[in-house]
Amino acid sequence: MRTALYPGTFDPVTNGHLDLVKRALRLFDRLTVAVGTARDKAPLFTVEERVELIRLAVRGHGDVEVISFKGLLVDVVRDAGATAIIRGLREVSDFEYEFQMALMNRRLASEIETVFLMPSEKYTYLDSTIVKEVVMLGGDVEGLVPAPVHEALLAKKRGDR
């Protein structure tokens, strides 16, 4: 069984992320979505909230497991029984950072491959930071995020969560 791991902060998960989940499942039998703690960011949602929102969003998408993680990514990949890391590339500027990370991961674990996937064109501009900013400023992101995420974002804006 071919397993890949798709890491990220997913704060929040967007339809662009889900597009990459679907694409990864065309290449791999099983996918683990790994939610990082976001040490260098100030996340809107807790790790537990992000894991739960992704679980709701990936229901019915195939063999997808959602976990949280801390520490070295290659250790998490090994623990998950995966042989590949899935990373998304939306624009050229993503490539520089992702290329550096892929080479470091290869140095740490040469048996693990990094697979770069491009999202559908309609999601190339979409990222979690923009989604959060638009919502907090009163804009509508319906259709850019799964319905449970949309509801959770509105609840955060209202101060309900």
pLDDT per position as a tens digit, 61-97: 889 999 999 999 999 999 999 999 999 998 887 899 9
Q: What homologous superfamily is domain 3-124 in, according to CATH?
A: HUPs (3.40.50.620)
Which residue is catalytic, options 90, 106, 156, 161? 90
Report pLDDT for 159. Answer: 80
- pLDDT value at 8 more than 70: yes
Secondary structure element (H or E) that encloses residue 4, with its range: strand 3-8
**Active-site residue, from 30, 50, 87, 128:** 128
110 part of the active site: no
Q: pLDDT: is 112 or 159 the higher one?
A: 112
> Which helix (H) or strand (E) element contains residue 154?
helix 147-158
Which one is catalytic: 17, 30, 87, 132?
17
Could you state, in order of their start, the residue ranges of all structural domains in the chain? 3-124
| Cβ neighbours of residue 72 closer than 8 Å, sequence gap 6 or more | 108
Q: Determine whether 90 is an active site residue.
A: yes
What integer pLDDT is reported at residue 161 of this predicted model?
59
| Residue 61 a catalytic site member | no
Q: Considering the entire predicted model, what is its pTM?
A: 0.94
Q: Is 78 a catalytic residue?
A: no
